[in-house]
Structure 1
Amino acid sequence: MATLSRTLGALWQHAVARRLHTSCARGGSNRTAVARLRRQVYGRLYPTLLVKTDGSAVRIRYKEPKRILMLPVDSNTLPEAERKARLRRQFPGRFQVQKEETFEEINLDEYQRFWKK
């Protein structure tokens, strides 16, 4: 009976030691600290000021670190004069084509002070 209990005790110790050894080889308790998180959306949200179209402001939590977010203005609800003024600011007129200066029109006497003597 004593030999049987010693044999079972030895087998039990061997099994426990083997289990500890294999769990350490796979990473054990350190595995969770090294592995990456497997989620699409992270919980970090940043405080942001949201400015509405009427000018009021609300503090929200946003996924990107921005200070201010402005909602776009619906141009269909604006008066005609305001809409045209916004379009003029957004798309300015065509550029004026400037006349290029040619070498025949240059007066060399104006640049004599820059020449070395």
Structure 2
Amino acid sequence: MIPWLKFVERATTRPHVSQLLVKALQTQVRTNAYRASLGRISRQQFLLRYPATLLRPDGSTVEARVAEPRQVIQLAVDLKTLSEDERRQRLAARKPKAKKIKKEEIDDNFDSNEYLSMWAGDNVDKGAALAAADQTASQSAKIKSKRKKSK
């Protein structure tokens, strides 16, 4: 077959531009989950939206979809609509509470002589072990006196 004849055959089998436009207009493309600006989302499962209960100040509830997983979202109460007593109670609950001062007591009544038998074996001189225990006791007494002076 002649090469230029192949070119002519291929050109005749290709669809015309107008045929491509008709196909493009006939196909329906849906880019997101919204069909209209008003209404609800038509998909049952929509990515990154979690069902939550919206609690209004009057006690009524509405199901809503939110970006973060929450069970209940409570709307704020308008203080102007409350009675004087309820308004005072709510404002008092918002104020920061006074912090209780904790008095820290250090109970330092450690006696190293009680534990002398644990680290003093048969071949260790008991007198040296007692001297070491007395030294640790005197160090703890010094620390105790420094703490009392700093207070």
Normalising to structure 1: TM-score of the pair? 0.48
Structure of higher CA gyration radius: 2
